[in-house]
Structure 1
């Protein structure tokens, strides 16, 4: 019965094989695996299972190690049986050869043994794996103990783990101070993954405690790949967290220190020796991996210790990676500082630079864009010192710039100075030179803050700028090199910080000349040129550098005057940079121009000058800028006298249109008696003409033209004032006639003023307005206001234009009336002139008059023959002697026409027409008698000359008419033009019978009772 039960029980190997890894427990190991007598099978079963339960896994490994110990002992005994044939100290060549022979014999013995006993060979191979896993298990347990404790919510550790089941039984149970932490990697993975890969994993996840244990327990394996492991540590990790993992240097040897490992076993097992592994390989025993075990990862290896320079290179490379990938300057600095503490050479300069970069990144004021800026040693080393200083102070405020310089810039400058000394090129002026360069390029607000932190009253150690003369030179260079127009309070702040030296109050001529020479030279220096468009503050510092203290003191006095002048100019909206005061110091035109702008642009200020008090304030400031006339005066208008300033001021006041204030100021204490009447009149006329020239409309009731007109009310009336006012009124009237400069563009006032012949404007009015000729008085008044008042010739020409325009409009009645007015004007001029006909104006007026009468008298469309005869008679009266034949020719033709008309009228109206004819004959007789009387008196006083061609009358008329500014054709060509054309076409025929025509004219005159005037030549 019992035999049957035993035979039916499951086989232990089968039961063990049927168990899964999760089902294996300590009981299974004791009940199923331990009773099996086959050592090879048991050890193979132990090495085949890789569990996550540390307790069961240790039990398996211990059991496998126990079952393989006998085989390892037999192999070791076999190798130990080989005895060396030579005994000695091993120092001779024979001993060495004997030792080598012994090793070969031992190796051959092992190979033979393993070939004869393959089971022991397999057991030895399994033993080596089991021991290596046992070491790893112990390492894993220690790693878990060093890991951070788990949270309360996580799964608790089994009681067996806390009791440490494989601890020494004789030792009392340990009382853990705290719960073990969570394992960074599962046990199964830890046992099957290569140590190199596990170490890299711990490094990448910053499990530095675990990595430290791994390197300590398995240092022999991990030493060649130590740098590959360190490279896996994230760049952002601080070196202080893993400083004991970083390489160190032995200063005495100049080589890398190799840490002493602390393996779990002091001596390796025989199965782990190289000769054992070599013998197994040679005898052909399979050397395959255990199930689940992964091949090792191939990493760059460095077996030998590095030299000091190689370690320095590695640290620098690591530092660059930290900076480039993270920008964490603190991490890089901590790395270099640790390396320096470990004796790594050649890192002092890099440490200095990193320290300076750290100040820039963490201590310097930062802007919004600074967070996105990455810094590296390469970028830092590529920067010039001036760029570094600007980077330090890029976001400094006025309140902090002085402390930032002391805290950030000065250490950097001292580092540069010390490096120059170490390099054998000492340069004591380097810090001040670089600092001064920054000050010269900084904004004025920053400069003012620096100067306030450098006042001579402060202790020497606290001052940013420690030299007083350098302060003066820097201030002069910064202020005169600045282009600002609105920072006068800031400039005054800088000036108030400057030192004041005790200099003699009495300045002799040599010192005054020296100051003048300095200012003149400085003015030339700041004047732009082709080689230097602008003198920068750095250029100016070079100019001021050689000046001694006395010259600097004088320059500061001049600067004080210039700053005050600049504030005054800025107050009245005509600011100028400080360099302008140097450039204009000897330029009268430039000072006058600025004074004019100040007087005229006062209304451009924020507060308009609406009261007399404001304008008096402006005058006071302008007089202040003119100076007192002292030799040392350097004010803005030092070359302008008081009278010049007052004239400029009054012109500016008038240019603003404040005429009431101007009148009041003329009688105020400020200006009373300063300007005589003639000067005031000149200024007002000039200002009025400026308003006139700038006016876009001629209407003097608004705009600039009104200002031009009202400006003339400021001075007392005079002929010039009245004449200018009349001209403005004439301009307004001309513009009311809608005269055009070009098609569609009205004429502007400036065009009217620039017209040389202003009578042509009247002609344009008559040409463009159909009814203008009807208003004779208006046109004459316009001519008078255009500047021709009292000019009879201009009045006669105007009447001639009116008559011509009326003639072209077929308004013969108005043309005749205008001609009569013109004749009376000429007669009045003749009677009032003391020179008589010799007066050039009388000759010009007479010529215009006879031509106009001649043209109207011979017009074919003028129906009133009697009036035409009167006009021709006036033409005979005023024309030159050589023009009489032409006029007489027209007279004859007109008289024939009159005779024909009377004959027709006589036949048509008989008795009724007789009375009309008798009346006409009486009128004709009277007119003929008047003409005959005038002609007779002229012929008796001169010898009559009859030219060969009668065309000279037309030629004479065109010659005179060319000087009369009016158009001769309103509706096409005039009658005179037609006659002229006919005369030109028949000139040859008329030249041939000219004598006959004159003879016929004389006969007609004789028939009318005036033949005696022509003499006995007529038949």
Structure 2
């Protein structure tokens, strides 16, 4: 029967096994040991079935326990208290093997029955929502449960309320029953802690405190760092202030009196009879076991370490703070200050404006403790706005500073000025928009209890420092808002002469002036300056600030804002004021104002004059060092410099203030503006760009000689640039380079050298010379003629060159000196004399040109050269003349020979003509043409005068042939210019004969002339 029952038992699956089935299968089995083994071997997930199995096992082992207990009583006398005297005496008890094994099974069944009851109770405490994680208080078994202290954070008193949720099913519990019965209970406790099943964990530790109490801290540390301690408060250690140590919670086991099979006596007997104890596995984790309560210091260290671990690894400052607060609420020592730090850090992390949007900053207690006070204040207010700054200071900064003050007092070194010092430090470094809100919350009209800054003098000092220390150029409305919040000391005597104002202003000017040691004053530096000033000086400083703010608003309105400190630096600086006034006038004009809107321009001029006027008490505005007339000139100059010429003309016609400018002032302003455009021009074309503005600017002023001269120079510049004159290869000349040329006639030479045909446009070049500033300057015109002739000669257009030379000679006649041709000492030449010099040289150069065939023109040119040349060059000119004469006479002797005709204007090779050509027949007596007839009476007269002049000053000796040779043509044989001849009558005779021939007399007459 037992074998059949055994087979039926094994064949029945867990799904088929029920409480009735258990009783049916095991009731008929007589072998208690087999039934006990079957009950120990079978684990079921249904608590009701498992209870029946365990109850069956307990009932079948009851007889064995009685027999073993009776045997132990006979062998080991009982002590008065019913306990064994010595466990070692268990060796004296000799048991039947079956009874010993049944006794071991009974102890197992008792423990498993307790676990089944615990499992059922834990499952009842596990909610079925939110993945099994409890967010509600854990239900208590009774009001006097030592494990349920209530939730100190629960304002609704929900702790201990068992009716908050409907009882969940066993399927919601995270572990099956059979696993719970067969595994280490400490492992389950750790897993429940990690899964934040605090209700189940509390029951487990309550019912099995003997096994789990030594590992209570290991279980608490298994709780996730994100879990708030309010959820596990009935699991946290308890501190007994009276005993100054930890209080261990008392457990509530299922059985007040353990079964005898679980006693130490029974275990000793089983070990003595070599019967192994049947039990669930024990823990093999390397966890520290703590059986005794912790001291107050050790418990405080645990709370602190737990908070630090959470804060460092998870960054959950609020959770860390809750742990510290829980420990501190029990009176644990040395947690208050650390709790303060965490509380202040939590305010920064969670309460500061906008911190929830910043995920990049890694806030930690280590970083917090390394930060100085100013940095922490800045961090609290980093994202404050003008709407939230006041509330953030009251809610975050003030409590923090109060804590620091309290710590200083506790440390025995009170610092009553700490709060104002760091608050003022922040204000001095904050943006003006935030500062304005702070001052608005500190207005003298508010009660002291509601003011952030309570002292009127401090408000004035801070405002002056913040405003004069700001570099802002566009916050004038905010600055005015700050000014409106400042106090007014009606009862302060300020005086009438403005001496205090000037003293304060001069001192402030010296303080803010940059030095090598400090380039710029900060608001903190300025606050130091204003700190010792009394109410009188502060009141006068506020008066100065009022004027400066008004000036700043005016400058900003016209597009030339200046930082407020500039008004202090420029108060005694004329050049700065003038420069800024110039910027104001030019910027306003460049902003595209309506040219016909007189009101707009009048408004600008009115504002500029207002800035130049003085205020009450000697307080001057931004342009206080400039006179009215100077401001008007700057205003008008700004209009001109911006190219608003129509506006300038309009104002000259309509504005009485502008019309007060004198004509010479208007002329000077127009010339200055025009030259500025000219110098900045990148092209000389007067129809485009800056050069066009330079030209048109001159139309504003009435036409005067200076204006006309400047206009002509601009026209000349445009003409020069039109000839493509280069500054260097490939780079056109700039107008500024043209103005910087000292010898402007050299520009004409550059024009001629840059253009092969430019010499053909004689009148254009002469007009250019005149517009370059040489109008009426005959010497300059002569030099220009010489340049033109030189260009024509280089182009081999000798006809044009001769024409130009003859025009040049006529100009020389106007320069002829009245003393009969006397010349200054060598090396001392005037411009006129230089013109004469270049004239005879050009005539001489063209007259001796061998390729030029017009003999008559050449003879005329040589005659003019002979008349104008210095004495020392007379023989050179005569030598060329004699050679030309010889060539002509030879052609006459050959009779009917060809004479060279002049080239055409294109400079081509000459054609030969006979003496009977129309060109010669037109001259009288052309068949017997003498030199005198050829050159004409004027040339003969010039030669006669030259003879008399030269003969009277003839040198004592004549140099070698090389001394007089200026060209490649050698003198003919027998010339009077033979080398090595001494001065003698023969030389004079030869010279006179040559000159006489030139003027048309024979040898005899020439001799008479000599004598």
Q: TM-score, normalised by structure 1?
A: 0.86
1:242-321 mapped onto 2 (5 Å cutoff): 242-287=232-277, 297-321=285-309
Q: 1:48 aligns with which of 33, 38, 41?
A: 41
Checking the alignment, whether the CA contact within 8 Å between 1:465 and 1:471 is kept in structure 2 is yes
Matched, 1:601 2:566: no
Q: Measure, in 2, the Cα distance between the counterparts of 1:910 and 1:277.
A: 168
Q: 1:67 aligns with which of 44, 60, 67?
A: 60
Equivalent residue number for residue 120 of structure 2: 141
Displacement of 1:478 in angstroms is 1.2
Equivalent residue number for residue 190 of structure 1: 180
Equivalent residue number for residue 961 of structure 1: none
The change in CA–CA distance for 1:870 and 1:363 in structure 2 (over 3 A counts) is: same
Q: Measure, in 2, the Cα distance between the counterparts of 1:867 and 1:588.
A: 69
Equivalent residue number for residue 870 of structure 1: 860
Checking the alignment, whether the CA contact within 8 Å between 2:93 and 2:269 is kept in structure 1 is no
Equivalent residue number for residue 107 of structure 1: 88
Checking the alignment, whether the CA contact within 8 Å between 2:190 and 2:219 is kept in structure 1 is yes
Q: Measure, in 1, the Cα distance between the counterparts of 2:556 and 2:165.
A: 81
1:22-37 mapped onto 2 (5 Å cutoff): 22-37=15-30
Q: Measure, in 2, the Cα distance between the counterparts of 1:532 and 1:494.
A: 27
Displacement of 1:562 in angstroms is 1.3
Q: Measure, in 1, the Cα distance between the counterparts of 2:666 and 2:168.
A: 108
Equivalent residue number for residue 800 of structure 1: 786
Displacement of 1:386 in angstroms is 2.2
Q: Measure, in 1, the Cα distance between the counterparts of 2:663 and 2:1004.
A: 67
Checking the alignment, whether the CA contact within 8 Å between 2:867 and 2:943 is kept in structure 1 is no
Q: 1:209 aligns with which of 199, 209, 225?
A: 199
Cα deviation, 1:868-919, whole Å, max 9, x if unaligned, reads 2222221221122222222222222121112112212346889999953324
Q: 1:121 aligns with which of 81, 100, 103?
A: 100
The change in CA–CA distance for 1:253 and 1:670 in structure 2 (over 3 A counts) is: farther
The change in CA–CA distance for 1:255 and 1:941 in structure 2 (over 3 A counts) is: same
Q: Which has the larger share of helix?
A: 1
Q: Measure, in 1, the Cα distance between the counterparts of 2:607 and 2:164.
A: 93
Equivalent residue number for residue 796 of structure 2: 810
Specify the SS of the correspondent of 2:727: strand
Matched, 1:642 2:642: no
Displacement of 1:762 in angstroms is 1.0
Cα deviation, 1:696-723, whole Å, max 9, x if unaligned, reads 2222233222222222222222221221
Specify the SS of the correspondent of 1:245: coil
Q: 1:574 aligns with which of 541, 560, 566?
A: 560
Checking the alignment, whether the CA contact within 8 Å between 2:759 and 2:792 is kept in structure 1 is yes
Q: Measure, in 2, the Cα distance between the counterparts of 1:1004 and 1:147.
A: 148
The change in CA–CA distance for 1:208 and 1:1012 in structure 2 (over 3 A counts) is: farther
The change in CA–CA distance for 1:1012 and 1:486 in structure 2 (over 3 A counts) is: farther
1:330-729 mapped onto 2 (5 Å cutoff): 330-366=318-354, 369-371=357-359, 373-502=361-490, 507=495, 512=499, 514-605=500-591, 611-628=597-614, 632-671=618-657, 674-729=660-715
Checking the alignment, whether the CA contact within 8 Å between 1:949 and 1:994 is kept in structure 2 is no
Q: Measure, in 1, the Cα distance between the counterparts of 2:852 and 2:957.
A: 28
Cα deviation, 1:270-295, whole Å, max 9, x if unaligned, reads 322234324433432234557xx686
Checking the alignment, whether the CA contact within 8 Å between 2:716 and 2:772 is kept in structure 1 is yes
Q: Measure, in 2, the Cα distance between the counterparts of 1:264 and 1:926.
A: 161
Specify the SS of the correspondent of 1:896: helix
Checking the alignment, whether the CA contact within 8 Å between 1:591 and 1:640 is kept in structure 2 is yes
Displacement of 1:786 in angstroms is 0.7
Equivalent residue number for residue 883 of structure 2: 893
Checking the alignment, whether the CA contact within 8 Å between 1:61 and 1:130 is kept in structure 2 is yes
Displacement of 1:1006 in angstroms is 4.8
The change in CA–CA distance for 1:1004 and 1:307 in structure 2 (over 3 A counts) is: same
Checking the alignment, whether the CA contact within 8 Å between 1:616 and 1:670 is kept in structure 2 is no
Equivalent residue number for residue 208 of structure 2: 218
Q: Measure, in 1, the Cα distance between the counterparts of 2:325 and 2:610.
A: 66
Specify the SS of the correspondent of 2:393: helix
Displacement of 1:672 in angstroms is 5.2
901-910 or 434-443: bigger deviation: 901-910
Q: Measure, in 1, the Cα distance between the counterparts of 2:239 and 2:54.
A: 40
Displacement of 1:765 in angstroms is 1.6
Q: 2:169 aligns with which of 181, 194, 212?
A: 181
Displacement of 1:243 in angstroms is 0.6
Q: 1:829 aligns with which of 787, 808, 815?
A: 815
Displacement of 1:607 in angstroms is 5.1
Checking the alignment, whether the CA contact within 8 Å between 1:340 and 1:347 is kept in structure 2 is yes
The change in CA–CA distance for 1:609 and 1:370 in structure 2 (over 3 A counts) is: farther
Specify the SS of the correspondent of 1:601: helix
542-551 or 913-922: bigger deviation: 913-922
- Structure 1 gaps, min length 5: 1-6, 91-98, 152-174, 955-975, 984-988
Q: Measure, in 2, the Cα distance between the counterparts of 1:606 and 1:773.
A: 47
Cα deviation, 1:627-658, whole Å, max 9, x if unaligned, reads 23877233211111112211111111111222
Q: TM-score, normalised by structure 2?
A: 0.86
RMSD (Å) for aligned C-alpha atoms: 3.4
Q: Measure, in 1, the Cα distance between the counterparts of 2:509 and 2:164.
A: 89
Cα deviation, 1:491-537, whole Å, max 9, x if unaligned, reads 1111111111126676366x61x543433333333333343233222
Q: Measure, in 1, the Cα distance between the counterparts of 2:962 and 2:578.
A: 64
The change in CA–CA distance for 1:718 and 1:949 in structure 2 (over 3 A counts) is: farther
Q: Measure, in 1, the Cα distance between the counterparts of 2:361 and 2:410.
A: 32
Specify the SS of the correspondent of 1:256: strand
Specify the SS of the correspondent of 1:830: coil
1:831-870 mapped onto 2 (5 Å cutoff): 840-870=830-860
Q: Measure, in 2, the Cα distance between the counterparts of 1:672 and 1:659.
A: 14
The change in CA–CA distance for 1:378 and 1:607 in structure 2 (over 3 A counts) is: farther
The change in CA–CA distance for 1:576 and 1:894 in structure 2 (over 3 A counts) is: same
Checking the alignment, whether the CA contact within 8 Å between 2:187 and 2:283 is kept in structure 1 is no
Matched, 1:935 2:946: yes
Displacement of 1:843 in angstroms is 2.8
The change in CA–CA distance for 1:793 and 1:660 in structure 2 (over 3 A counts) is: same
For these two proteins, the number of residue pairs brought into alignment is: 943
The change in CA–CA distance for 1:406 and 1:348 in structure 2 (over 3 A counts) is: same
Cα deviation, 1:160-179, whole Å, max 9, x if unaligned, reads xxxxxxxxxxxxxxx99965
Checking the alignment, whether the CA contact within 8 Å between 1:881 and 1:944 is kept in structure 2 is no
Checking the alignment, whether the CA contact within 8 Å between 1:562 and 1:636 is kept in structure 2 is yes
694-703 or 905-914: bigger deviation: 905-914
Matched, 1:778 2:764: yes
The change in CA–CA distance for 1:444 and 1:997 in structure 2 (over 3 A counts) is: farther
Checking the alignment, whether the CA contact within 8 Å between 1:826 and 1:849 is kept in structure 2 is yes
Q: Measure, in 2, the Cα distance between the counterparts of 1:878 and 1:569.
A: 69
Displacement of 1:761 in angstroms is 1.1
Checking the alignment, whether the CA contact within 8 Å between 1:883 and 1:952 is kept in structure 2 is no
Checking the alignment, whether the CA contact within 8 Å between 1:882 and 1:947 is kept in structure 2 is no
Q: Measure, in 1, the Cα distance between the counterparts of 2:546 and 2:286.
A: 79
Specify the SS of the correspondent of 2:622: coil
Cα deviation, 1:246-278, whole Å, max 9, x if unaligned, reads 001111222111011111111222322234324
- Structure 2 gaps, min length 5: 131-162, 899-913, 972-976
Checking the alignment, whether the CA contact within 8 Å between 2:321 and 2:339 is kept in structure 1 is yes
Specify the SS of the correspondent of 2:879: helix
657-666 or 860-869: bigger deviation: 657-666
323-332 or 397-406: bigger deviation: 323-332
